[in-house]
Amino acid sequence: MTYTDDVVSYIQMRGTSTESGRRPVLHAIVDTLAVAAAASSTSLVRTVRSTLVATGPQVLWGTRQTGSPIESAFHNGVAAHALDFDDMSESVRGHLSSVLLPALFAALLALPEEDSNAAATRFSRAYAVAAQVAGSLAAGLTLDGHYRRGFHSTTTVGAIAATAGVAHLLALTPNITRNALGIAASTASGIRQNFGSDTKALQVGSSAANAIRAIQFAARGLTADADSLGGQAGFLRVFGEPAELENAVSILNGQAVVDHPGINIKLIPSCYELQRTAHAALQLRDNLPESIDSIQVTLNRRATDPLIMRYPTNGREAQFSPSFVVAAAFELGQLNLSAFTDEVVFDARISDIASRVVVGEADAPSEGGAPLSRFAAITVAGGGAIVQAVVEEAPGSALLELDRSALRRKALDCLTVLGRSDLTGRLFSAAQSLIYGGETAPIRDFIIELGRPANHGVVRPQ
């Protein structure tokens, strides 16, 4: 059997998700819809909407505008990643939910209601299948080398993984599934040079849309090579640094990726590699010396790969700037969506503090003789005093028990941006109805209501 055979066979698995497997998918749905709603009125997402034909049946998240399934996947993928507040998966060093969920919802909500309810019972499993395929592909690429070469792994891996998830959701035949994977593999793209720009989110939306497009083409009989993923000129060998097919197969058949390493929920709207830094800075804020002479930020190796090491020129770059994150935490005392704006970047008080920040990498310190895999340490010196904070796992990490109240606060804050804080509880209940009840109507109606002004009833589009 080829590697593509292995992936197709895995996708064809039929079964139910465990309780432990459903819970992270539920959290991912709540998180992704909330951050997409908050982003729906940004200039980036409004510009994307202005390019769409907008004649399809699917309501675009956070709006009253409609589009085709491909347009829906594209728009919603861009919106989910536009604020860089979406969840993060260590298995791919990227943001799987912002690709997987827009594609899965586009496929699910394109079905007639009776068919969508049957597919809904497979939704959490479809996400898990997609995540497993993503983790397998990442292992086969030798992810660190692939990432350091400049590829945006969220999107190089994401389109293929989303295609796998949709194929499972729709219970497609092996032949259609194989061809869809091959078509998606030929769309793999995305570069890290565009981090800090609008294009980063466009890459995510394109990957989600490419998954739907690949499924539609394959379902209509278009073909791809039989081993587009593992062949001599296939995806893994072209993009791998180097390709390691044995590792890919091992992960495919190993522990469920949604359980471990799991899905990290961001509680601060910055690059995930700065979550630990941000929380360390907030811990120090009330104990800072009266005057600050120097600020040393030390991160584990690899953590600086996606970061912008100079002071940012705008709010989007600020999400990747360790000096800005530390300075803003010290000056503002909180790091919410309003902290990452152009106005705050140009605040002279913050840029002055940031000028004293020096960032370095080091091997992780040890705890009880065992090295820590990741950490952020901040040391502040001034007026003869030295204070320090070290954070190993940021709140929201998949390695920690998720504080549901923290996720609820995040969802509330995001929906407040759209003026629909009243829908916070409904978002949770709709996601629960989908994941635990196999019901499509509550999440469909939530999406419709999300784009309406407050105090209006649900009206389904004709």
Delineate the domains of the chain, giving CATH numbers in brackets.
3-252 (1.10.4100.10), 272-391 (3.30.1330.120)
Contact criterion met (CB below 8 Å) for 434 and 443: yes
Q: Quote the tokens at residue 364.
A: 């992780």
Cis link prior to 24 (omega < 30° from 0)? no
At 320-343, the pLDDT tens digits run 999 999 999 999 999 999 999 999
At 70-106, the pLDDT tens digits run 999 999 999 999 999 999 999 999 999 999 999 999 9
Query: Whole-angstrom Cα distance, residue 62 to residue 45?
Result: 10
Confidence at 461, pLDDT banded by 50, 70, 90: very low
- Element spanning 98, H or E: helix 97-108
- One-letter identity of residue 224: A
Smallest Cα–Cα separation from 304: which of 282, 328, 320, 286? Answer: 320
Average pLDDT of 174-183? 99
Position 369 scores a pLDDT of: 45
Position 17 scores a pLDDT of: 61
Weakest-pLDDT range from 31-35, 51-55, 73-77: 51-55
Share of the chain above pLDDT 70, in %: 95
The DSSP symbol for 421 reads G
Q: Is 237 exposed, middle or buried (0-12, 13-18, 19+ CB in 10 A)?
A: middle
Mean pLDDT of the chain: 93
Q: Is 255 exposed, middle or buried (0-12, 13-18, 19+ CB in 10 A)?
A: exposed
Q: How many CB atoms lie within 10 A of CB 412?
A: 16
At 372-391, the pLDDT tens digits run 578 999 999 999 999 999 99
At 352-374, the pLDDT tens digits run 999 999 999 987 655 544 445 78
Weakest-pLDDT range from 183-197, 369-383, 397-411: 369-383
178-189 burial: b if 16+ Cβ within 10 Å, else e:
bbbbbbbbebbe
